[in-house]
């Protein structure tokens, strides 16, 4: 599975949009992009995933570039409870068991 | 009802002891996992079971033995505990079909003294 690169930390003001980037330049055509987050030592929580098209759900939006080499997770109105480590993972559709977590981005939402 | 539940949440024990952590999922998923998160917060996959069959064993010492009595349960038994085994252990499950996202338990914090 392709590797991902994320900034180690980011700050965001409460109420503003948080845009978390992820680089996955070696992604192949059958690999999906997944985002998870971990709030202070709780179990990681699934946020969203996508293949080619942009995706939106009640938690976030996922923007994938046309060449699929990078993506951005958008939390439209960040709250203090969104402070967490956010993990970007790529996984081939046939490797359904293999989720490998990197070091993620620590998002600090500030009042 | 908790979807993926682990017991115990906290476990403090002495070096050399044997301990078990239990995991149950009520989601009807086919695949279950154990992940280890060390003090540096890296989350590493240890094992994956699909319908009670071992799929992934990520070079984990054989002191760690997963056991899956049925597809809703995946227990982790650890023999001869060492200081380096201190970590938070997360159980997870996923469905084989569809997006296959992972659902995690709340973790079991193991401290070896």
Please compute the mean of the pLDDT values over residues B25-52 and round it to a whole number. Answer: 89
Q: What is the pLDDT of residue B41?
A: 83
Q: What count of Cα atoms within 13 Å lies in the side-chain half-sphere of residue B95?
A: 7
Confidence band of B39 (pLDDT split at 50, 70, 90): confident
Are the Cβ atoms of B103 and A46 closer than 8 angstroms?
yes
Are the Cβ atoms of A43 and B48 closer than 8 angstroms?
no
- Is 70 exceeded by the pLDDT of residue B1? no
**Percent of chain A beyond pLDDT 70?**
94
Is the Cβ of A99 closer than 8 Å to some Cβ of chain B? yes
Is the Cβ of A36 closer than 8 Å to some Cβ of chain B? yes
Confidence band of A30 (pLDDT split at 50, 70, 90): confident
Q: What is the pLDDT of residue A10?
A: 97
Are the Cβ atoms of A97 and B48 closer than 8 angstroms?
yes
Are the Cβ atoms of B88 and A41 closer than 8 angstroms?
yes
Give A49's contacts (C-beta < 8 A, 6+ positions apart): A32, A33, A34, A35, A55, A62, B99, B101
- Is 70 exceeded by the pLDDT of residue A96? no
Instruction: Name which of B33, B42, B102 is nearest A46 (Cβ-Cβ).
Output: B102
**Percent of chain A beyond pLDDT 90?**
76
Instruction: Name which of B31, B101, B103 is nearest A34 (Cβ-Cβ).
Output: B101
Q: What is the pLDDT of residue A1?
A: 56
B47-88 pLDDT, tens digit each: 888 887 888 777 789 999 999 999 899 999 999 999 999 999
Q: What count of Cα atoms within 13 Å lies in the side-chain half-sphere of residue A110?
A: 6
Compute and round to an integer the Cα radius of gyration of chain A.
Answer: 13
Question: What are the backbone dihedrals phi and psi of residue A74, each rounded to the nearest 5 degrees, phi first?
Answer: -120, 120
3-class SS letters over B43-110: EEEEEEEECCEEEEECCCCCCEEEEEEECCEEEEEECCCCHHHCEEEEEEEECCCCCCCCEECCCEEE
Confidence band of B95 (pLDDT split at 50, 70, 90): confident
Are the Cβ atoms of B56 and A34 closer than 8 angstroms?
no
Q: Which of B6, B96, B102 should one mutate to test binding to chain A, selecting the residue with the greatest count of A CBs within 10 A?
A: B102
3-class SS letters over A68-88: CCEEEEEECCCCHHHCEEEEE
Mean pLDDT lowest among A24-33, A51-60, A71-80, B47-56: B47-56
CA distance linking residue B110 with residue B113, whole number of Å: 10
Average of per-residue pLDDT values in chain A: 91
């Amino acid at each position: 599975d392709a590797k991902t690169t994320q900034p180690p930390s980011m700050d965001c003001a409460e109420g503003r949009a948080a845009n978390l980037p992820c680089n996955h330049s070696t992604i192949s055509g059958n690999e999906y992009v997944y985002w998870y987050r971990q709030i202070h030592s709780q179990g990681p929580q699934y946020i969203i995933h996508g293949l080619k098209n942009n995706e939106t759900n009640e938690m976030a939006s996922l923007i994938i570039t046309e060449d699929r080499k990078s993506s951005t997770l958008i939390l439209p109105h960040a709250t203090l409870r969104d402070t967490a480590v956010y993990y970007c993972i790529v996984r081939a559709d046939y490797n359904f068991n293999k989720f490998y977590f990197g070091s993620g981005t620590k998002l600090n939402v500030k009042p | 009802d908790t979807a993926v539940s682990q017991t115990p949440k906290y476990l403090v024990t002495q070096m050399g002891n044997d301990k078990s952590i239990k995991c149950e999922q009520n989601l009807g998923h086919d695949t279950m996992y154990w992940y280890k998160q060390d003090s540096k917060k890296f989350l590493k996959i240890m094992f994956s079971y699909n319908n009670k069959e071992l799929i992934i064993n990520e070079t984990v010492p054989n002191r760690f033995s997963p056991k899956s009595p049925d597809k809703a349960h995946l227990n982790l038994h650890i023999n001869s505990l060492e200081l380096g085994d201190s970590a938070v252990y997360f159980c997870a499950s996923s469905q084989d079909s569809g997006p296959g996202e992972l659902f995690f338990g709340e973790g079991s914090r193991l401290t070896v003294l």
